[in-house]
Amino acid sequence: YLWWNTLAQVERYQDCSGKSTYYRYDERQHLVAVTDALNQTTTLERKPDGEVLRISHPDGTTESFTYNVYGQVLSHTDGKGQTTRLMRTARGLPSSRQDAKGQRVRYEYDKAIRLTALVNENNATYSFAYDASDRLSEEVRVDNLTRRFSYDVGGHLTRLDEIGYGENAERPERHTLFERDAIGRLVAKINRDASQTFAYDDGDRLLSIERQPTGIGKQLGITEEKLEYTYDLLGRLTKEITPDGTLGYEYDPLSNLTTLT
C-alpha cells in the first residue's frame, strides 16, 4: 500500500507483512528523511536547490557531496571518510576520476562529445568509435580484443565481429549474426558453433529459446537444448522448462515472488 500527500509524493509505504516505511519532505518538497520498518532513520541535508550535501545513516556514518556551479558532482566522501573526486570539462563532462588512493581514470571525447577513450588506473586504454548515427561501431579493449558492431536501418544490432589478440600476435576471429523480425525482436543468433532461435507470444513475451549446434559445435561438446517459458494472465513468469526439469514461480497478491518449486 502507498499513501501520498497532496503533492503526489509518497509519505508511507506498507509492504505485504504490514511493515511501514515513512518519507518526510522539506518546505521545498525535497526528500529529507526516510524511516524504515525498524524505526531507523536516514536523513538528507540539501542545498536550497535540492542537491544533497550530506546523508546521515542510522549507523552513525555520513556521506557528503560537493558540486560545481552547474549542480554536477565534484566529490563524494563515503562513510569511511574516503573521497572520490571528479574533474570535468568546460561542457561538464567527466575528464578524470580520482579515488581515495590517488588512482586516476581519464576520459577523452571527440568533437561530437562522444566518449572515444577511457584510460584506466594502469594507463591501459579502452577506445571507442562511432558511425554517422552515433552508434558504437568499434571497441578496442585493453587486451587488444577488437569488437565491431553492425546495425540495420532500425538501429538494431545485426552483426558482431570479434577479433582477438593472442600471445604470438595471432588474430583469431569470431562472427555472430543476429536476425530480427519486423518489429525488431531477436529471432535468431548464429555463429560458427551453434544457432539459437527465439519465439514470442502475441503479448511480446519470450516463449522459447532453442539451440542447434553446428558440426563444429558438436565437436566442441555443444548439444541441442530447448528452454520454454509460460506466463499467467498478468504476464508473470510461472514456469521455466529446461532439459534438467521444470522451475515453477508463485506470487502473492502484490506480485511479489513467494515460491520457487
Cβ within 8 Å of residue 93, ≥6 positions away: 107, 109, 113
Evaluate whether residue 166 is within a structural domain.
Answer: no
Evaluate whether residue 203 is within a structural domain.
Answer: no
Evaluate whether residue 187 is within a structural domain.
Answer: no
pLDDT tens digits, one per residue of 73-89 = 999 999 999 999 999 99
41 and 94 share one domain? no
Evaluate whether residue 135 is within a structural domain.
Answer: no
Beta bridge partners of 198: 209
The predicted structure's pLDDT at residue 192: 96
The predicted structure's pLDDT at residue 162: 97
Evaluate whether residue 240 is within a structural domain.
Answer: no
Which of 43, 60, 77 is the endpoint of a domain? 60
Residue type, 60: G
Task: Spell out a b/e string for 192-229, using b for 16 or more CB atoms within 10 Å of the CB, else e.
Answer: ebbbbbbeeeeeeebeebebbbeeebeeeeeeeeebeb
**pTM (2 d.p.):** 0.78
Evaluate whether residue 4 is within a structural domain.
Answer: yes
Evaluate whether residue 225 is within a structural domain.
Answer: no
Indicate the SS3 state at residue 218. helix
* Sites in the chain below the pLDDT cut of 50: none
Evaluate whether residue 165 is within a structural domain.
Answer: no
Q: Domain tally for the chain?
A: 2
The answer to whether 116 and 108 have CB atoms below 8 angstroms apart is yes
The predicted structure's pLDDT at residue 254: 81
Cβ within 8 Å of residue 174, ≥6 positions away: 161, 162, 164, 191, 192
Domain that holds residue 83: 64-116
Give, for 12, the enclosing helix (H) or strand (E): strand 10-14
The predicted structure's pLDDT at residue 199: 98
